[in-house]
Structure 1
Amino acid sequence: MKALKIAMHGVTGRMGANQHFIRSILEIMKQGGVSLASGERLQVEPILLGRNAEKLKHLAETVAVEVIERPVAYSTEVDQVIADPAVDIVFDAASTQLRPTILRKAIEQGKAIYCEKPLSDDLAAAKQLAAECAAAGVKNGVVQDKLWLPGMRKLRMLRDSGFFGEILGVRGDFGYWVFTGHDPDQPTQRPSWNYRKEDGGGMMIDMFCHWEYLIRNLFGSIDRVLSHATIDIPERIDEAGKPYTCTADDSAYALFVLQNGVTCQFNSSWSTRVRRDDLLTIQVDGTQGSAVAGLRECWIQPAASTPRPVWNPDIPQPINFYDGWQQIPQNTEYDNAFKIQWELFLKHVAGEGEFPWSIQSGVAGLALAVAGQESSDGQKWIQVGESQQ
């Protein structure tokens, strides 16, 4: 079986370089490919694409050599590489606003496509991409990495075992303090485009795409949303050291009511200081027990171990509520979430296994972000399906 050749566009960014190239593709190459049901090993060969030749060269000839002891190919001729008949897959992790253009070129060439989310900052454009994929018959997928995080997999295990009984409610808390850049001793941790709506930035368009697939896969499909988005920090400092006006929301608060009646409350903020177990925690409360999952760990409290609090503000709280939770043991090794999905997609392209995390799934994520924005703008409930018409 020939190696699958992957054109990887946008890998000079933090996520593209670290999670997709280094921790996924290079690790797959290092382990000798992907194991297929036939017993064969599916090999991959990346070609790094972008505009910055210096960054590409460093990844291809320095980083790759450190991991797999040989360089990989790179090019700044994006269109030429996408059109190359030898290329099997085109991957994009670059700008949200440029993504439809890159993907459309790949679809026109009959390539399988795989990409980061959101698909676009425009729902109509995302739907059009899905329609073009279907018409062309190309295999396609969207990154939905949080499904394979150890903490979320433990939640799924608890759900499937019946631990919760009847699920009553879900609460998600995400975020951390992103430094503004005004203090040179506290540099910002995220790129400036994240805080400019005109460049495709915003908490809601970024994270609601995650919450849609995570909620749908763990708890059920979303029926309606009530949300509120804010710009908490009006000015930040960009990569050139210059101040800029923030035009995109950096905090978003939402109630998602599922078709099965369960209510999910999610708070997302880049202007909050963390006092919880992890940067993302999801608490699930049920009739028979509750669980709190972070990115990797998960804690449970069965009904029989639930303390009996009594409201009395006149004395110090006698209960240490953290003591009543039990940490789920680590009974298996968890691979990198991005790498797991990459392996599933590569198998799918090679003809082994279905891949439900498709472009259409990415459209659903963007539709929820659009519904959330409509709700925030109008301060009203929005049926999620109404934003997909």
Structure 2
Amino acid sequence: MPTRSYTVIMNGVTGRMGYRQHLLRSILALRDEGGVVLPNGDRITVEPVLVGRNSEKLARMAQDHGIERYTTDLDAALADPEATIYFDAQVTSERVKSILKAIEAGKHVYTEKPIAETVAEGEELARAAAAAGVINGVVHDKLYLPGLLKLKRLIDSGFFGRILSVRGEFGYWVFEGDLTPAQRPSWNYRAEDGGGMVLDMFCHWNYVLENLFGSVQSVLAKAVTHIDQRWDEQGKPYQATADDAAYAIFELDGGIIAQINSSWAVRVDRKELVEFQVDGTEGSAVAGLFGCRVQHRTQTPKPVWNPDEPTDQDFRAQWHQIPDNTEFGNGFRAQWEEFLINVDAGQPHRYDFAAGVRGLRLADAGYASSREGRRIELGS
């Protein structure tokens, strides 16, 4: 079986998400398990080159995982002709200039989102990638979650009939950092460093909505900074300048209404950290990270409003869990495999920089709606 090896420059994987999901559970897992086997029997293998600002962290990570190459010099890494793919998991504020360097060096680019801080910057990246003819992709991890894959299966089967609405609840309590250390990095709460709930999560919600239900046509949003003082990784207080919550109504193609609350200042009273309820004429579903519960119209109860007596119905018990019916792997790895196959075949990746720009446009519209107190049209 012919084997082709790809060297991937991985910038910013000392952070939690970059390390756990992209390096450890995706690239290193593929390396250690022999790569990706193509339908014709050929094999694609991968080898990472680590890039970051902290040489001690990089050296420790390389030693722990048997990685030969690491550097704090991005330009030197990009000058290596054997390294044909660049991956970016840095803070958002550092992303654009690094990706532009990678494109100029002729590298195929795969990146976390948001791909930039502004629509103009995102469009610049898309134009540069198109002009250079490099394959480009943006992480769309939530589409690969078992819960949303089950939800997609229901949509494709026609289970819902005509879909009426989507209601999403996302978030959890991110500790301020004084009594208990915060479980998210402090830059997430500084607008000047590219932080903010709208910029972060509306890029996610855009691809979830457009790939499952329909393109977003308009948004009415309110962005809020509920907690304005937090403590950083060194225990020092700082002013939180970025929004830590956003409440939005999206109008989609076909008249579907989506309402999504996103907050890092909410305590969880639901089965999973994110849940989407979809209601249709024929049935409803509630999908999370892993599970998906359904209620068909033939099994829908008939509650009667009576404020004088407590209800005797257990409404949550009236829903039925969708079985797995398949083995769900790590979603980040699954999309990495797709991207590598696209690079190997010279084919565009379906979730490209243009998709990342659409996410930025929604975030931009969300901020404009919040500032101006009105509904913002996006158009087709």
Aligned to 2:357: 363
The equivalent of 2:74 in structure 1 is 78
State the 1:116 CA deviation: 0.4
Q: 2:344 aligns with which of 345, 350, 357?
A: 350
Deviations 1:316-352 (A, max 9, x none): 1111101100001121110111000000000000016
Q: Give the SS at the match of 1:3.
A: strand
Shift of 1:234: 1.2
Aligned residues: 378
User: Does 1:109 pair with 2:105?
Assistant: yes
Deviations 1:22-49 (A, max 9, x none): 0100111122101112201101111000
1:219-238 alignment runs, 5 A limit: 219-238=213-232
Report the equivalent of 1:384. Answer: 378
4+ aligned runs moved over 4 Å, structure 1: none
What is the distance in 2 between the residues matched to 1:374 and 1:95? 23
| Contact persistence 1:36–1:352 (CA under 8 A) | no
Identity %: 53
1:270 equivalent to 2:272? Answer: no
Any idea what the Cα deviations from partners look like across 1:91-115, whole Å, max 9, x if unmatched?
1000111111110011111110110
**Is the contact between residue 93 and residue 115 of structure 1 (CA under 8 Å) also seen in structure 2?**
yes
Q: State the superposition RMSD in angstroms.
A: 1.1
- 2:135·2:346 contact (CA, 8 Å) conserved in 1? no
* Partner-residue secondary structure (3-state), 2:92: coil
Write out per-residue CA displacement over residues 173-196 of structure 1, whole angstroms, 9 at most, x where no aligned residue.
Answer: 00001111121xx22111111111
The answer as to 2:113 corresponding to 1:128 is no
- Flag structure 2 segments of 5+ consecutive residues without an equivalent: none
- 2:62 maps to which residue? 60
Matched, 1:331 2:325: yes
Rounded Cα–Cα distance in structure 1 between residues aligned with 2:211 and 2:95: 25
Shift of 1:385: 4.2
Alignment of 1:259 with 2:261, yes or no, is: no
Contact 2:135 2:347 (8 Å CA) reproduced:
no
- Select between 352-361 and 21-30 the one with higher mean Cα deviation: 352-361
Superposed CA deviations along residues 294-323 of structure 1, whole A, max 9, x for unmatched, are 101100001111111111111111111011
How far apart, CA to CA, are the structure 2 residues paired with 1:171 and 1:44? Answer: 40
Q: Shift of the alpha carbon at 1:354? A: 4.4
Q: State the Cα distance separating 1:78 from its structure 2 match.
A: 1.1
Superposition pairs of residues 163-312 of structure 1, within 5 angstroms? 163-183=159-179, 186-312=180-306
Contact 2:135 2:348 in 1 (8 A): no
- Tell me the distance in 2 between the aligned counterparts of 1:385 and 1:24: 36
**What's 2:96 paired with?**
100
Please identify, of 347-356 and 284-293, the stretch whose mean Cα deviation from structure 2 is larger: 347-356
Could you give the per-residue CA deviations for residues 43-82 of structure 1, whole angstroms, max 9, x where no partner exists? Answer: 11110001111111122111x1xxxxx4332111211111
1:186-230 C-alpha deviation (Å, 9 max, x unpaired): 221111111111110000000000000000000000100000011
1:91 aligns with 2:93: no
TM-score by length of 1: 0.95
Amino acid at match of 1:228: K
Instruction: Measure the CA separation in 2 of the matches of 1:71 and 1:124.
Output: 37
Contact map agreement 1:216 1:222 (CA 8 A) in 2: yes
- Alignment match of 1:314 (pick from 292, 308, 323): 308
Kindly state the Cα deviation for residue 353 of structure 1 after the two structures are TM-superposed: 5.4
Give SS of 2:304's match.
Answer: coil
SS of alignment partner, residue 248 of structure 1: coil
Helix, strand or coil at the partner of 2:307: coil
CA separation in 2, counterparts of 1:242 and 1:18?
26
Cα deviation, residue 83, structure 1: 1.6
Q: How far does residue 259 in structure 1 lie from its aligned partner after superposition?
A: 2.1
Match of 1:50 in 2: 52
Q: By how many angstroms is 1:2 displaced?
A: 3.2
2:13 touches 2:23 (CA, 8 Å); kept in 1?
A: yes
State TM-score, norm by structure 2: 0.98
